Structure 1
Amino acid sequence: MDALEDVLTLLETRSHLSARLVAGGRWAVRFDAPDGVKFNAVRRGSCRLEVDGAEEPIDLAEGDCYLLTRRRPFTLRSAPDVFPVPAGVVFAGAEDGTARTGQGEEVLMIGGRFSFGARAQELLLDRLPPVVHLPAGTRHAETVRWALTAIDQEMSDRPMGSTVVAEHLAIVMLVHVLRLHLAREPHAVSGWLAGLADPVVADALDRLHREPAKPWTVAELAAVAGVSRSALAVRFKATVGQAPLEYLTRWRIELAARRLREGGATLAAVAHSVGYGSESALSVAFKRVLGTSPGDYRKQQSRSLPASG
């Protein structure tokens, strides 16, 4: 897998679709801070998005979509002077998967949220701006439109397995939105995400993620990327914020932490799977990165699991 696939898989990315929203006339809906990353797409009409803490509202046109990557309340509205109705009230009255507000049907929106497992804030969400807005006219946005159309069809027609299909399509949409955001605004992201927007650094990241247990040297990574050792070191550090081998160490520890959360494997097996020759070598690196030993980390994760039965 490449770096984007790797991180989304590591974070156990899940999508959760909500009822569609149909609105018309003068209307406004106020949403509480979402649990996870909220997304909406305008399938028909237009409206305005206001996110608490954002400097300016965002005008959304037909075909636009957005992600909210922070836990902030927000409002969708037709005009700035309309008093908003709580979203809980609007969606509690949903029928056949559709909630309605205002008078008329000029606006149709589909949406939901993405949830993630441990480490999402540091590995992904902190790397993104609070609001990722993808206008409909964006170059290469056809794949997002295709996914949104398919989601809308699944939600409206409700064939067998529609929920599963729609939620998987939402993950497809998320990947494409992130890709397009990187292509449009590479300087609006940081860390490994910024590295994906740099072709040289992206080649090195790709190999590190494909073979994390390999004893890489900077010279070998530079050869993969087709640049000199010094050029890769400088470019990687400037883009990602870490030296190549420092990044590799941190990624190995993330992989080790996932295996420890899953349970079952011995520390020796975990160490070997991520490129360390011994438990002690893994322990030193693990404590340096996450501030605790692998054994203590496993115990903490076990205590945090809900009791069965």
Structure 2
Amino acid sequence: MDPLSDILTILKPRRLETGATDVGGDLSIRFAPHEGLYCYAVLEGECWLTLEDGATPLRIKAGDCVLLPSGRPFRICSKQGLTSVDAAVFFAGRSNGEVVIYEKGGTCFVCAAHFGFDTPDSSLLLGMLPPVVHINDQTDQTAMRWALDRMMAELRTPRAGSDLLVEHLSHLILIQALRQHLTARDGTRVGWLSALADPPVAAVIAALHAKPADRWSVEAMAKIAGMSRTVFALRFKASVGTSPMEYLTRWRMMLAADALRLPHRTIASAAGAVGYDSDSAFSTAFKRIMGCSPRKYHARMSGEHPV
């Protein structure tokens, strides 16, 4: 598989809830800190999104999509300076998939999907993404526009099979948003997702994902990138936000953790699958990245004691 598919397979995104808001007047909604990832798409009109960390407000308009992987509190409003209502209060009593109409609607239509992840270690990968991933309508988005239009139609007029269709559309929109983020090259972006748009770095990441158990060195990676060791190491860290060997170690531990969720997997087999001959060295690396020993992780996640 390609690296993006690899990462999404490890994360195992699942839609927790989907809904839409059809706004007809001035409105500001505050969302508390959250687990997982929010995906917002403006289908009609425009609105503003602000993270509560002093970041510059972001204007999002029809055709734009925003991913919020950081878990930080944020506000969505029709215009800046409004007093916000808490999201838990505004959406109280609504059912999953429902369209909430405010002041008769018609000014701005926003749909949202909240994704959880079946791995408890998703922050290791989500934490390497920008706080906000903004995909605007300037990118080639035929597939995105089709998915958003279908989502709006299914939410506004539910029919037989709508719940399942919205589930699949949510995943399509998430993947398409990540794809479009890759094609919108911006040298100021840092993280594994943006790095996949940097050809030399992307080639190395693909090689690491294809053969995680190989005895990798920075020199071997630099050869794939077609650069000197020093230039490659600097380029990789500037693009990904971490060193090549640290990225490899994190990826190996994510793969090992995924394996250790299965009751029948042993620690030795998980270690060997990601290139560790020594259980001791593997345990040290695993505990540093995952925060606990592989034995404790296996017992907790598999529900059984490790062999």
TM-score (norm 2): 0.83
Structure-2 separation of matches of 1:37 and 1:45: 23
Distance 1:146 1:253, change over 3 A: same
Structure-1 separation of matches of 2:238 and 2:85: 46
1:249 aligned partner: 249
Distance 1:109 1:195, change over 3 A: closer
Gaps of 5+ in 1: 305-309
1:135 aligned partner: 136
2:124 aligned partner: 122
1:214 aligned partner: 214
Structure-1 separation of matches of 2:296 and 2:18: 38
How many residue pairs get aligned? The number is: 302
Structure-2 separation of matches of 1:81 and 1:88: 20
Shift of 1:200: 0.4
Residues 1:107 and 2:104 aligned together:
no
**Aligned 1:116-265 pairs, distance under 5 A:** 116=117, 117-124=119-126, 126-136=127-137, 138-184=138-184, 186-218=186-218, 220-227=220-227, 231-265=231-265
Aligned residue for 1:130, secondary structure, equals: coil
Structure-1 separation of matches of 2:44 and 2:231: 48
Work out whether residues 129 and 192 of structure 2, in 8 Å CA contact, stay in contact via their aligned partners in 1: no
Work out whether residues 28 and 82 of structure 1, in 8 Å CA contact, stay in contact via their aligned partners in 2: yes
TM-score (norm 1): 0.82
Shift of 1:205: 0.6
Distance 1:49 1:264, change over 3 A: same
Query: Which protein is richer in helix relative to its size?
Result: 1
1:268 aligned partner: 268
Shift of 1:227: 4.3
Structure-2 separation of matches of 1:176 and 1:49: 21
Q: State the Cα deviation string for residues 233-256 of structure 1 (Å, max 9, x = none).
A: 443344335553443233212211
Work out whether residues 271 and 282 of structure 2, in 8 Å CA contact, stay in contact via their aligned partners in 1: yes
Q: Percent identity?
A: 39
CA RMSD of aligned residues (A): 3.0
Gaps of 5+ in 2: none
